[in-house]
């Protein structure tokens, strides 16, 4: 299943992989993968992880190819020193991808972006204390607010390309210049962080 939602004038694509078989996806998507990518995917132990990874490696290629009307097989994705993926030959395009359970979210933009998706389900949110300050946490009135805060921190960490770290404790929606939007879709929370127009 593939659904598209508009956040900050960007199309965020949500894939539900709960009905997908890894072997079927592999049959169709392997032609877009390098040998190294296939090897990394095959190291995962369960099919859910393999499905998320094969989509993570192929969807950025397929979506850019559709936009530029080029062959997806010719698109090379590399990683910078901080392990952030980017298009080797198409540096004017940025993307971000996120997984939660059997959902994968993807956004492609001409602006720098960071995206996070989370399934709204009960879980211990103590990890929030690692990336959010006391004031931010105290302003959360309910569980959904905590999920929105978590997805913001995750999306922003992807936006700056550093990953989750204690540095995020000093970053809030109030003290950044970037655009931020959070939406709730059924049992999902999705946050997009996007560079403002210059």
User: Tens of pLDDT along 111-147?
Assistant: 999 999 999 876 667 788 888 988 998 998 988 898 8
- Residue 61's nearest CA partner among 99, 106, 9 is 106
CATH T-level fold of 2-194: Ribosomal Protein L22; Chain A (3.90.470)
Has residue 26 got a pLDDT over 70? yes
Question: Residue 155: which of 107, 198, 122, 121 has the closest Cα?
Answer: 107
CA–CA dist 77, 105 (Å, integer): 18
Indicate the pLDDT class of residue 32, thresholds 50, 70 and 90.
Answer: very high
pTM: 0.91
Across the range 6-16, mean pLDDT stands at: 93
Mean pLDDT of the chain: 90
Q: Which H or E run contains 120?
A: none
Tokens, residue 188? 């999902």
Contact by Cβ (8 Å): 189, 118: yes
**What's the pLDDT band for 198 if we cut at 50, 70, 90?**
low
Q: What is the mean pLDDT of residues 105-116?
A: 96
Q: What's the pLDDT at 123?
A: 67
Find out whether 131 and 158 touch, Cβ atoms under 8 Å: no
Residue 1, pLDDT > 80, answer no
Per-residue pLDDT at 81: 75
Secondary structure tally for the chain: helices H, strands E = 6, 9
Please give the average per-residue pLDDT across 62-91, as a whole number.
91
Calpha distance 157→164 (Å, rounded): 6
């Amino acid at each position: 299943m593939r659904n598209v939602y508009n956040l900050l004038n960007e199309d965020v694509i949500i894939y539900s992989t709960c009905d997908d078989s890894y072997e079927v996806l592999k049959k169709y998507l392997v032609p877009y993968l390098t040998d190294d990518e296939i090897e990394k995917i095959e190291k995962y132990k369960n099919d859910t992880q393999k499905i998320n990874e094969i989509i993570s490696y192929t969807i950025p290629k397929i979506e850019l190819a559709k936009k530029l009307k080029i062959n997806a097989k010719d698109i090379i994705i590399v990683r910078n020193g901080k392990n952030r993926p980017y298009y080797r030959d198409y540096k004017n395009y940025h993307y971000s991808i996120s997984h939660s359970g059997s959902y994968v979210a993807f956004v492609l933009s001409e602006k720098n972006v960071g995206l996070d998706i989370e399934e709204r389900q009960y879980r211990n949110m103590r990890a929030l204390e690692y990336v959010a300050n006391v004031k931010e946490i105290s302003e959360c009135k309910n569980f959904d607010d905590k999920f929105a805060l978590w997805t913001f921190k995750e999306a922003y960490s992807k936006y700056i390309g550093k990953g989750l770290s204690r540095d995020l404790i000093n970053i809030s929606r109030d003290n950044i210049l970037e655009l931020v939007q959070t939406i709730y879709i059924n049992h999902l929370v999705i946050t997009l962080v996007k560079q403002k127009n210059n």
